[in-house]
Amino acid sequence: MKTLRIGTRQSPLALAQSNWVAQQLNTLLAGSYICELVGMTTSGDQLQDRSLLEAGGKGLFTKELDIALESDDVDLLVHSLKDVPVMLPPGQRILAYPKREDPRDAFVSLKYKSLDELPEGATLGTSSLRRRAQALALRPDLKVVEFRGNVQTRLSKLQAGVADATFLASAGLNRLNVPEHACELLNPTDFLPAVGQGILAIAGMPDRLEEKVLQALVELSDLETERAATAERAALAALDGSCRTPIAAHLFHEGAGIYRLKASVTHPDGAPSYEAERTLHGSELFLADFMQLGQDVGQAIRDDAGDKLPHLDS
Ligand SMILES: NCc1[nH]cc(CCC(=O)O)c1CC(=O)O
């Protein structure tokens, strides 16, 4: 029996995700491989008290994992796709996109049932520029306060009264088995999710992996999820986004062979907002079509906004 070393962050959510992947691969590779998790701390995890915005930069949550893969200390990485920069390090590829979890944002509060119910001037805790921008676009009266840390930390901050409400990815709550914290699941059309929200990416260096392992990863991958990841990330690439940019994009599967990609860039203070959408349909669609869809939507936003896109390349 051989060992397959899986590099992961150590937050409870990251471990839940990596354990799930390990179980799936153990089943698919039964008899030949057994997975072992290798927990690591990333720069992003160490920055809980400082401003992630100031630290800036892409790949804050992936850098140390990338180095471990590069130096052959691990064989695979499990990431939340949302945290993975558009440009992967040389040689690294995403080898599987398991079926997407719920992509929606959840409104979480101990006092109010929905975003609409928040009283005038209530405090919203979030350090996501996208969530801040989208919330202020709907509710300019809200007061936004920084809200850092993993899911549990943010829930205890609510308990402590640091804010009246926060937003968390529904996928994270589901994977942590605490879906009851979601008071309201925001309609993805009004509150467009982050690129790749709810999607896991399993990355590796294909040259170093046995055919058997590559085959198991193909089996674990889900075509509709790969299509969504491809289209949404192509839009992000066309907009040259980083985690500092309030960009959102979501691929809606509207029916057999019909897809709609919508993307938006919202000013951190709520307005103005630029958005674009395009539809793709056909009985035989290739990944290249989804890539093109993403590029077209990203370019449409660029054309529309001209030189007014907020903070795009820092
Ligand atoms: N940057 C933090 C992060 N990265 C991925 C998720 C949730 C899981 C997912 O979107 O797949 C979260 C937490 C959150 O946004 O609430």
Distance CA 105, CA 62 (A): 22
E strands, 41-192, where? 76-80, 93-96, 105-108, 123-125, 143-145, 165-169, 184-185
pLDDT at residue 7 tops 90: yes
- Across the chain, what does the average pLDDT equal? 92
**Measured from the CB, is residue 168 less than 6 Å from ligand 1?**
yes
Distance CA 47, CA 51 (A): 7
Q: How far is the CA of 210 from the centre of ligand 1 (A)?
A: 31
pTM for the structure as a whole? 0.93
Catalytic residue list: 83
Residue to mutate, 13, 20, 191, ligand 1, most ligand atoms under 8 Å from C-beta: 13
| ipTM for this model | 0.94
Q: What is the percentage of the chain residues whose pLDDT exceeds 70?
A: 93
Summarize pLDDT for 120-135 with one digit per residue, the tens: 999 999 989 899 999 9
For the four alpha carbons of 100, 105, 106 and 109, in that order, the dihedral sign comes to positive
pLDDT at position 311 is 56
Position in ligand 1 atom list of the atom nearest CA 167: 16
pLDDT at position 59 is 72
pLDDT at position 190 is 86
Domains and CATH numbers, the chain: 2-98+199-221 (3.40.190.10), 105-185 (3.40.190.10), 229-308 (3.30.160.40)
What are residue 124's DSSP bridge partners?
Answer: 144, 165
Summarize pLDDT for 232-266 with one digit per residue, the tens: 999 999 997 555 678 999 999 999 999 999 999 98
H helices of 118-241, in order, are 129-138, 151-159, 170-175, 211-220, 223-238
Q: How far is the CA of 255 from the centre of ligand 1 (A)?
A: 27
pLDDT at residue 53 tops 70: no
Q: Which of 16-30, 198-212, 228-242 has the lowest mean pLDDT?
A: 228-242
